[in-house]
Amino acid sequence: MVTTAVFLGFALGVLLFFSPGSLAFIFLAIIIILLINKISDEKERGFIKTIFMLGLGARIFFVLITMGWAIFNNNILNYAWRSCPDYGTPYIIDDSGYYTLRGLFTNMHWLGMPLSAYTINAVVRNSYGFSGFIYVLAFYFMLFGYSPVSSRFINCFLASVTSILIYYITKSMFGKKAGQLAAIITAFFPSLFLWSITNLKESSFIFSIYLMFWSIHQFKATRKFYHFITIVLAMASQFFIRSGYKEFLYITVVVVLFDSLFLLLLNLYTKKRVFNLLIIFMALFLIISLNRDKMSMVVEDIKRKSLTQHRGALSEGGICYQLLPDEQLYKLNISNAVFLQMLGNGWIHMMLEPFPWRFQSKPMLLGLFQMVLWYGLLFFAFSGIGILVRYKAKESMIFISYFFIIVSALAVMGGNIGTTFRFRDIITPLILMFSSVGLINAFGRTEQCSEVLNNNARIDAQKDYKTQDKVIFNV
């Protein structure tokens, strides 16, 4: 069976090499290589190109092998029995096949092709399960024709570029060694790798998040207007891809604005930092005090929505976890103390699920290796956060605040382990960044780590003395 799957994968590769979509991705890969040569330092150029090409090549290889396996085992999704067009797609994850066919039917609807009422109303226009990535697939099929295999190269490409972004972001805070380690782990982290060889929305959403973060770093360093435009586009793409989670995405906007305001006030007068911080906290305290009733309404609304979301997650079936006992979970309202208990329980589940005793089936056992790796990385991640707060607080503020706020938001809304596992990968690259800092500090050469940290402190001191409106990122 394995030999047949490999043969079919090779055959698919030969055929796809001559397809318009596959040739387009070859062209895009060449553009990325040229950009790396243009913007990167000569000493790091080889590593960046290598990690990009290895990541992209490995993903394409596994796409071809898994699709060969799916074809050989007749894992073909087809909705013709539901009065949909008679098209099929090989798949390894049900949702990926669903997205592929929904993108195809959406493209057919755009082109004015005759479709059944069921296809139009229950598939194309159905709000349930909708994602902007469906439109991306529809547009791809419009340009290159229906290709359920090469369309997966979209996520292969975006995930490979994401590892480069992680390299630059981590390097800017703690040096090249930490950046290289973060890029390698991100490129081949099991679940991130899995999403990237499917037609799920996770890889494109994660790419837009870290493109936003990289652009914010670049904008702070250069004040170039086109980096600001990239920030706006990256944030807009997050709303586009996950249109059903607007409240969650508003958090991203608030974090970005808070980070910008914090740095602006902090840099007004270097010698008056403590005074400025006191002014900020006093202003926040005054705003909350004057709007106590409105703030109470906001808090109650958050608690009510959290309870509703958590109850909804429990009703989805599958393997779930419950954050509160029934007598509290099914109340219309809960106290602040109970909500904090719910938040604390949610954090434990959000960061540690699935627990080892959850692996009760063979498919779930595939995630056991990742969880062992994940538990090991978590310790170094929080160590890395401590190091960044001490030495690079300004540069890392946006990442740390985003991490804690997003995890808190997801923690009180989760309940289904599969959903939690997928949602957690929104912040997985951040954990890998933080853990790389912790690992390099713990196991790297002591004199090298000290040199990086001292160099960071020296650069910050020089910056504070010479200018208040520029942030230095390269170490």
Six token digits for residue 346: 């949610």
Six token digits for residue 87: 């098209």
Neighbours of 304 (CB within 10 A): 13
CB 401 within 8 A of CB 389: no
Neighbours of 355 (CB within 10 A): 12
CB 273 within 8 A of CB 267: no
AA identity, residue 259: D
Q: Could you give the 3-state DSSP secondary structure of residue 416?
A: strand
The maximal CA–CA distance of the chain, rounded, in angstroms, is: 72
Cα separation of 2 and 65, whole Å? Answer: 9
Respond yes or no on whether the N-terminal peptide bond of residue 354 is cis (omega within 30° of 0): yes
Cα separation of 406 and 248, whole Å? Answer: 8
Q: Is 14 exposed, middle or buried (0-12, 13-18, 19+ CB in 10 A)?
A: exposed
Work out the end-to-end distance of the chain between its first and last CA atoms, rounded to an integer number of angstroms.
51
Each of the 475 residues of the chain gets a pLDDT tens digit; together they read 555 555 555 555 655 655 788 888 888 888 999 999 888 888 888 999 999 999 999 999 899 899 888 988 889 999 988 888 989 999 888 889 999 999 999 999 999 999 998 988 888 888 887 888 999 999 999 999 898 989 999 999 999 999 999 999 999 888 899 999 999 999 999 999 999 999 999 999 999 999 999 988 888 778 788 888 898 899 888 888 887 666 666 677 777 766 666 665 555 545 555 566 666 666 666 666 656 666 677 677 778 888 888 888 888 777 889 998 888 888 878 888 888 899 999 999 999 988 887 776 666 666 788 888 999 999 999 999 999 888 887 778 888 888 888 888 888 888 888 888 888 999 999 999 999 999 998 887 544 455 555 555 454 444 443 443 333 333 2
Query: What pLDDT score was predicted for residue 462?
Result: 47
Neighbours of 19 (CB within 10 A): 15
Query: What pLDDT score was predicted for residue 473?
Result: 30
Q: Is 158 exposed, middle or buried (0-12, 13-18, 19+ CB in 10 A)?
A: middle
DSSP 109-130: HHTT----HHIIIIIIS--TT-
Six token digits for residue 22: 């596959």
